[in-house]
Structure 1
C-alpha cells in the first residue's frame, strides 16, 4: 500500500509540473504582429483596368517577419546614387505638338500629371523636326570663325518652338533640369559639308567649342539654364537619312579635354559635360566610355557617361563602373515602338527590365526617354524612325493619348523626388524587378514589377527597418509603394 501511495504522489507531482509547463508555453507564444504604419499603393495592370491609380486600401506595416517567399529587402543602412530626375526629350517635333497645349503640358509636368523633372533638348536639328535640318550657324561663306552668324531664332518659330515650350515647362516646374545634345555641327565645320553623316574637321574643334558656349549663353539669356550636355548624340552612328556626325572615342576625349572643357571653365559656365551618349555597348568600340574617362585631359572635365538601350544590355554598364567606380551614369534615350506586335504588357516589360530597373540598379542618376510627344503618324519626322512613339500621342485633331511610357515614367517621376537616393535592394531578376528609394523628406518608395510570367498574382513582401508589408502583385503588374 505504501508503494502504491508513493507512485500516486509521484504521478500527481508530474501532472502538476506538466500543467505548469503548458501554462509557461502558452505565455511564451509570440504576440500578434503590431501595426507600425501604412503604405500607399499605386497600380498599373496589363489589362489597363488600373493605370497609375492609387488604390483606396492602404497596406499595414507590421512588425516581425513575413511568410512570403518573395521578399524585397531594403538595406536602409546605406544609400547609393542621388536621383536628378526622370523625363524625355523635347525635340522640334515634340515642341510643335506641345506648343500652346496646356493640357498636354500639365499631364507631363504639372502636379496633377506625372511631374517630369528632366528634359533633354535637341541642340539644333535631329531626326524629329517638322520642316528641315538646321544648325545655329549656317553660312554661305566657307567659314565663320567668329560665329558672327550664330542665332537661336530657329528655336522660336511656330514650327520649331523649342524655346517657347521650354519656358512653358519652366512655368509648370521651375526646378526642371535641362540637358542638351547636338546631332551635328554646322555643315561648314564638317568634312562632307552636310547635315547628314560626316565628321568634325580637326581645324574647327576650337570654334566648335565656342559654338557650345554661344548656345549655352544664348539659352541662359532666355531664362533657360542648361544643367548638362552630351558632346554628340550617338557618336558611333552616321546615316544619310538625317542629321548625324561620327566622333571616335579619341576625338571626343581630345575635344572635351583640350577644347570644350577649358572653354566652359573659362566662360564661368558650370554645365556638366557627359560623355558617350550611345548604346550600352557598340561593337565598333565597346570601350568608348573607358577611353574618354581614361584620358588625362578629358577626365579633368568629366566623369559622367550617358547610355541608350538600342543595343547591348544594362549589364554592360559594369564595363565602365568596374574600371571607374566613381563615374556618374545617365540614361538619356529609348523610344517606345508601335508595330503589329506591340502590346502594352510588352512595352512595360521591356522598359522596366532594360531601362528603369536595369539602369537605376546600376547607378543611373537620371532616366530620360525619347520624344515627349509625337502625332498619329509617329512624327513629324526628319528622316528618322517611323515606328517610334512619344510619351504622349497628340493627333492632328487634338486628341491626347497616354502611351505605355507615360505610365512607367509616372510610377517613378510622380513619387521619387529630385534629390532622392537609391536604397539597395536584393535582386529578384525575371521574377520581381524592383528599385528602392528614400526621398529628401525621408519618405520611402519601392517600385516593383511582376515579371515572372506566372499566372495569377505573386505574393510579395517588402521588408523595411520598421517591419514588413505584403501585397499580391498581379501578373505583369507595376506598382509603386510609398510610406513615411
Structure 2
C-alpha cells in the first residue's frame, strides 16, 4: 500500500477539474420519456489503492457504441436517467470546536489549503452542507454553555465563546463555497441545571419545567449565529437521544422527544419568526430508526413540525451490513419526510492507520447505499482533527478525512477525503438520483443527474481484482476498467 504522508494537496486540486427549492422527500420514482447518449462522452475520475490515483482523471471523451442485450457473462453497470428519485440537499461535514481550533493552530498557508480543499467547488471537493454543535460536545476542548449557570431566563445568553475559532471558520467556509453553505445545528446536552442529573455529561433527562427555556435557547442560538452572518437552515432536536455517553448527552424516549417538539420547540420557532427552520428528529443510529420514527411521527401534532430524520452509522457496522434496509423501510412508510445522514466517522484513532484503505471504503459503501435508500444529504463528522484525533475533552479520539499536525504544521489527507469527494465534487444540490444498478456484488453504484443535465455515476470496486465493465444506457455502452479497491465517478 502506498503511503502519502502529509503531502501537499495542490497537485490533486488541479488534476481534478470540475465539469462545470425545496427538497422533495423520498418516495416513488418520477419518469421522463426518454434519454439519449448520442453525442455524449464519458470522463472518468478515479481513486485507487496501491496507486497514486486520487480523484485523478483517468479517462476522457469515451464514446458510447451500440451494445444491445448484455449476456450474463458480461459485467455491467446499468443506468437509466429517465427514472428519478429524491433531490440532493448537499454533502459536507461538521465544523466543530475541535475542527476550528485545529485549523487555527496550523500555519496560514495550510489553513487556506485545507479550506479550499473542502469548500472550493472547482479546485476542491465542493462541500455544500455543514453541521455544527450548539455549545459544547465531546469534540470541544471543554464543556461550556452560552449562559451563566442557573440562568433559566437566558438573560446572559452569548455566543462569544464561538467567536474565537468556530464562527470564523464557518464564515470562511461559506465564502469559499460561493456565499451559501446549508448549515444546521445539533445540541449534545442542555445546560446541567435543566436536567434531572444536574450535569451535562453522562446522560440524564431534560426536566419538563425547562422545556420552554430550552426551546428558547434554540431560538436564541439561531438568531445569534445569523447576526454573525451564518444562516442556520435547521436544527436537530438532540444528538443521539438514546445514548448515555461519558461526554455531553441527554436521553429522550420517542414520546419525550415528540412532547418537547410539539409543546415547546416547534411553537417557539414559529413564535420567534423561525418557522422556516427545518427540524430533524432522531439523529442517532440506523438500528432503531424505524421503531423510533414510527413512534414519534404517530402523533400528527408532532409530525407537522418534522422536516426529516437524521441518522448515524455507529453500532451498525459489521463490514457488509450497515442496516440500510432500515432506511428503506422509513422511506417507504414516511414518503413525505426526508432522510439525512448527520454523522459518521472511524472511531479509536490510531496514527498507524492514517493510510488504511478501509477508512475510505466504509464511506463509499455507506454513501452509495444511503443514497440508494432515499437519503437527501450526507454529513461527515469533524472535517479536521489534530495529530491525536482531537482535541476532545473526554479522550474520545477519532479519525477525520483530514488531520493537521499542530506541532509540525503538516497535513494528511486520508483516503476518506477522496472517497467523499467522488460524491461531493460531482453531485450538487438540486441533483436528482437516477437508477444505477450493477450485476456484480463487488461493484457498488449510485447515480444522479444534476440540474445542468450532467450525469454523475459513482462506481466502487470493493474487491481485490480489476473488473472491466460496461456502462450501459439504452442499448449503448462504454467499456471502463475498475481498479481493485477503487472508486470512480463517471461524468457525461
Q: Normalising by structure 2, what TM-score?
A: 0.85
Superposition deviation, residue 55 in structure 1 = 1.9
Q: Is the 8 A contact 1:428 1:434 kept in 2?
A: no
What is aligned with 1:9? none
Alignment partner of 2:39: what SS? strand
Measure the CA separation in 2 of the matches of 1:259 and 1:147: 15
Q: Which runs of 5+ in 2 are unaligned?
A: 1-36, 317-322
What is aligned with 2:486? 477
Q: Is the 8 A contact 2:138 2:248 kept in 1?
A: yes
What is aligned with 2:95? 90
Measure the CA separation in 2 of the matches of 1:416 and 1:256: 33
Change (3 A) 1:428 1:234: farther
Written as runs of structure 1 = structure 2, the 5 A alignment for 1:365-404 is 365-386=376-397, 388-396=398-406, 397-404=408-415
Q: Is the 8 A contact 1:36 1:466 kept in 2?
A: no
Cα deviation, 1:236-281, whole Å, max 9, x if unaligned, reads 0012x21111111111111111211111122221110011000101
Cα deviation, 1:283-315, whole Å, max 9, x if unaligned, reads xx8611221222221101114101101123222
Written as runs of structure 1 = structure 2, the 5 A alignment for 1:442-481 is 442-451=453-462, 453-455=463-465, 457-465=466-474, 467-481=476-490
Measure the CA separation in 2 of the matches of 1:177 and 1:471: 35
Alignment partner of 1:54: what SS? strand
Change (3 A) 1:265 1:467: farther
What is aligned with 1:243? 248
Aligned residues: 436
Change (3 A) 1:259 1:409: same
Change (3 A) 1:434 1:124: same
Measure the CA separation in 1 of the matches of 2:440 and 2:361: 12
Measure the CA separation in 1 of the matches of 2:298 and 2:310: 16
Q: Is the 8 A contact 1:46 1:344 kept in 2?
A: no
Superposition deviation, residue 382 in structure 1 = 1.6
1:352 aligns with 2:364: yes
Superposition deviation, residue 145 in structure 1 = 3.1
Measure the CA separation in 1 of the matches of 2:433 and 2:482: 22
Change (3 A) 1:109 1:294: same
Among 60, 64, 89, the alignment partner of 2:63 is 60
Alignment partner of 2:98: what SS? helix
Measure the CA separation in 2 of the matches of 1:446 and 1:348: 18
Alignment partner of 2:81: what SS? coil
1:317 aligns with 2:327: yes
Measure the CA separation in 1 of the matches of 2:148 and 2:294: 34
What is aligned with 2:432? 421
Q: Is the 8 A contact 1:74 1:424 kept in 2?
A: yes
Q: Is the 8 A contact 2:363 2:420 kept in 1?
A: no
Among 345, 352, 355, the alignment partner of 1:335 is 345
Among 308, 314, 322, the alignment partner of 2:312 is 308
Q: Is the 8 A contact 2:133 2:185 kept in 1?
A: yes
1:108 aligns with 2:114: no
Written as runs of structure 1 = structure 2, the 5 A alignment for 1:114-153 is 114-130=125-141, 132-139=142-149, 143-153=150-160
Superposition deviation, residue 319 in structure 1 = 3.4
Measure the CA separation in 1 of the matches of 2:311 and 2:373: 12
Among 416, 420, 442, the alignment partner of 1:409 is 420
1:189 aligns with 2:197: no
Among 162, 174, 177, the alignment partner of 1:155 is 162
Rg larger in structure: 1
Measure the CA separation in 2 of the matches of 1:117 and 1:151: 27
Measure the CA separation in 1 of the matches of 2:488 and 2:437: 17
Among 196, 205, 210, the alignment partner of 1:199 is 205
Superposition deviation, residue 92 in structure 1 = 0.4
What is aligned with 1:289? 293
Q: Is the 8 A contact 1:460 1:473 kept in 2?
A: yes
Q: Which moved more, 1:340-349 or 1:202-211?
A: 340-349
Written as runs of structure 1 = structure 2, the 5 A alignment for 1:9-28 is none
Among 162, 168, 177, the alignment partner of 1:164 is 168
Change (3 A) 1:308 1:410: same
Superposition deviation, residue 148 in structure 1 = 0.1
Q: Is the 8 A contact 2:290 2:326 kept in 1?
A: no
Alignment partner of 1:356: what SS? helix
Q: Is the 8 A contact 1:62 1:468 kept in 2?
A: yes
Q: Which runs of 5+ in 1 are unaligned?
A: 1-33
Among 22, 47, 50, the alignment partner of 1:47 is 50
Q: Is the 8 A contact 2:401 2:416 kept in 1?
A: yes
Measure the CA separation in 2 of the matches of 1:360 and 1:333: 15
Q: Is the 8 A contact 2:96 2:382 kept in 1?
A: yes
Among 242, 258, 265, the alignment partner of 1:260 is 265
Q: Which moved more, 1:219-228 or 1:427-436?
A: 427-436
Among 272, 278, 288, the alignment partner of 2:284 is 278
Among 212, 222, 232, the alignment partner of 2:228 is 222
Measure the CA separation in 1 of the matches of 2:440 and 2:205: 41
